[in-house]
Amino acid sequence: RAHVAAIEALNPKINALITVTAEHAIEAARASDAKRARGEAGPLEGIPLAIKDLFCTEGVQTTAGSKILDGFIPPYESTVTAQLKRDGAVFLGKANLDEFAMGSSNLTSAYGAVLNPWSRRNDPDARLVPGGSSGGSAAAVAARMVLGATGTDTGGSIRQPAAFCGIAGIKPTYGRCSRFGIVAYASSLDQAGPFARTVEDCAVLLRSMAGHDPKDSTSADRAVPDFAAACTRSVKGLRIGVPKEYHIDGMPAEIEKLWRQGLDWLRDAGAEIVEISLPHAGYALPTYYIVAPAEASSNLARYDGVRFGLRAAEKESDLRDLYERTRAAGFGPEVRRRIMIGTYVLSAGYYDAYYLKAQKVRALIARDFREAWSKVDAILAPATPSAAFAEGEGSDDPVQMYLNDVFTVTANLAGLPGLSVPAGLDPQGLPLGLQVLGRPFDEETVFAVGAAIE
Ligand code: GLN
């Protein structure tokens, strides 16, 4: 009830939740109480969560932040949310997001912007973005509306909003969580993961979310370790890599300083700091912005006015007219831009020059990491190149927005786990995050390093 009251008080201003399911949640919480009384409590019994509105939830509207899915009520539940429910979690609502998870600001949502609960010391009225695309999830946790939330991360959409909102968030290894029932953006990059106030809480949530699922052929058939236990492991003797290519031009001094501070903390805890090179890191951003839109243009072909959500047709419409009207009315400007870029890079005559080349560079980026793992056990880097920015500060320039993802997209291209840990404040009092990357399926080391920094 305290969390429901927080939602009632804060959501009208913060707009973190598109749909609030408070009544349903209170009923579920009562059932949790009864289970607890019978000694049958699950690991998440009664824990209030928000679910990014990209996860299909049976009987509860799922919009993906788009007008084209307005009113879409899925007849089935995503595997990740089904597992959270199985373990006792209670869902308080569906969290706002950039339309189809495309963005780093939450400004592209058809359901309005989300306000970051933090504010600048010297300019408290500036409307700061929570980051994106999982901005509603991160803001809901930061504002204490819920104890945790789900997100998805295709190029940074868990790690960047976690950093902007001063909380923890992890994108696990590609294949760790099932993508079944999650609205697809770029299928070879998309992964689900949790947000919470602490690294350990993320570990607890991830254990419930992860696991093999026969309904997603890319989900890995691997045992799910006790991630929370890994949070208390010592980092003594671990080799922590510092990629020299991540010292990018124009990085604010406070981010360089925080990064050095994080390395000092790990050194003090007994870790060894090793400089490494990821020679193709500089190509990650352009590679991502070819691969992700290409896959998106294909995935979004299904929104045609026939099967899901919005149908914008005149009585006399033929099929083509129905498609055109529905897609013109249903998709916002950023989604259209991605569909056009994706269609272009996949088209005959351009495929070899763009898509195929991007796939080759993606392989080189993954190879850089494989070589790095022979020298180090984890990598420490900034999560973002800045603290939360205000609405309007570059947000109308798409390329400027894409630059926000410079430190995050590599993990998706290589399929690696990445954890964003709140690590300090900038001179305006805004949170800054550090990012821990690890070997595929070695989230345990990532959690140990993250907990040591936190
Ligand atoms: N900002 C990136 C994009 O717009 C990443 C989004 C995501 O991870 N879903 O594509």
The one-letter amino acid code at 55 reads F
Summarize pLDDT for 288-321 with one digit per residue, the tens: 999 999 999 999 999 999 888 899 987 777 999 9
**Does the C-beta of 103 come closer than 6 Å to ligand 1?**
yes
Cα 289 to ligand 1 centre (Å): 9
Return the best residue to mutate from 52, 53, 96, 98 for the ligand 1 pocket (most ligand atoms within 8 A of CB).
98
C-alpha 386: how far from chain center: 17
Which residues are CB-neighbours of 188 under 8 A, at least 6 positions away?
174, 291, 295
* Of 421, 339, 416, the residue nearest 382 (C-alpha): 421
Distance CA 324, CA 330 (A): 10
* Of 198, 205, 214, 202, the residue nearest 79 (C-alpha): 214
Cα 153 to ligand 1 centre (Å): 7
Cα 245 to ligand 1 centre (Å): 21
Encoding tokens for residue 82? 């089904």
Could you tell me the maximum CA-CA distance found in the chain, to the nearest angstrom? Answer: 73
Summarize pLDDT for 87-130 with one digit per residue, the tens: 999 999 999 999 999 999 999 999 999 999 999 999 999 999 99
Distance CA 149, CA 139 (A): 10
Distance CA 310, CA 70 (A): 6
**Does the C-beta of 387 come closer than 6 Å to ligand 1?**
no
Catalytic (active site) residue 157: yes
Residue 242 in contact with residue 273, Cβ under 8 Å? yes
Please report how the helices 79-86 and 199-209 are oriented relative to each other, as an axis angle in degrees rounded to 10. Answer: 110
CA-CA distances (angstroms) from residue 443 to 72, 111, 171, 273, 439? 35, 34, 9, 19, 8
**Does the C-beta of 156 come closer than 6 Å to ligand 1?**
yes
Residue 330 in contact with residue 66, Cβ under 8 Å? yes
Q: Is residue 45 exposed (0-12), middle (13-18) or buried (19+ Cβ within 10 Å)?
A: middle
The active-site residue out of 52, 67, 94, 171 is 52
Cα 234 to ligand 1 centre (Å): 33
Q: Is residue 264 exposed (0-12), middle (13-18) or buried (19+ Cβ within 10 Å)?
A: exposed
| pLDDT tens, residue order, the chain (454 aa) | 999 999 999 999 999 999 999 999 999 999 999 999 999 999 999 999 999 999 999 999 999 999 999 999 999 999 999 999 999 999 999 999 999 999 999 999 999 999 999 999 999 999 999 999 999 999 999 999 999 999 999 999 999 999 999 999 999 999 999 999 999 999 999 999 999 999 999 999 999 999 999 999 999 999 999 999 999 999 999 999 999 999 998 889 999 999 999 999 999 999 999 999 999 999 999 999 999 999 999 999 999 998 888 999 877 779 999 999 999 999 999 999 999 999 999 999 999 999 999 999 999 999 999 999 999 999 999 999 999 999 999 888 888 889 899 999 999 999 999 999 999 999 999 999 999 999 999 999 999 999 999 9
Residue 90 forms beta bridges with which residues?
48
| Number of residues written out for the chain | 454
**Does the C-beta of 412 come closer than 6 Å to ligand 1?**
no
Return the best residue to mutate from 104, 190, 289, 404 for the ligand 1 pocket (most ligand atoms within 8 A of CB).
104
Give the SS3 label for residue 373: coil
ipTM of the complex: 0.97
What pLDDT, on the 0 to 100 scale, is given for residue 120? 98
If one counts every other C-beta atom within 10 angstroms of the C-beta of residue 127, the result is 11
The active-site residue out of 32, 66, 109, 133 is 133
What pLDDT, on the 0 to 100 scale, is given for residue 406? 94
Encoding tokens for residue 440? 């595929």
Kindly state the DSSP code that residue 356 receives in the 8-state scheme.
I
pTM: 0.97
Catalytic (active site) residue 67: no
Residue 380 in contact with residue 276, Cβ under 8 Å? no
HEC string of 24-82 equals HHHHHHHHHHHHHHCCCCCCCCCCEEEEECCECECCECCCCCCHHHCCCCCCCCCHHHH
Encoding tokens for residue 110? 């058809």
Backbone angles phi, psi at 267, to 5 degrees: -60, -45
Residue 88 in contact with residue 48, Cβ under 8 Å? no
Indicate which atom in ligand 1 lies nearest the CA of residue 401. Answer: 1
**Does the C-beta of 292 come closer than 6 Å to ligand 1?**
yes
Cα 158 to ligand 1 centre (Å): 9
Distance CA 400, CA 285 (A): 12
C-alpha 370: how far from chain center: 24
The active-site residue out of 157, 219, 386, 395 is 157
Encoding tokens for residue 106? 């939450």
Element (H, E) at 384: none
Q: How many domains does the chain have?
A: 1
243-262 per-residue burial string, b: 16 or more CB within 10 A, e: under 16: bebbeeeebeebbeebbeeb
Domain that holds residue 150: 1-454
Residue 18 in contact with residue 53, Cβ under 8 Å? yes
Domain of 429, CATH number, reads 3.90.1300.10
C-alpha 372: how far from chain center: 25
Cα 318 to ligand 1 centre (Å): 35
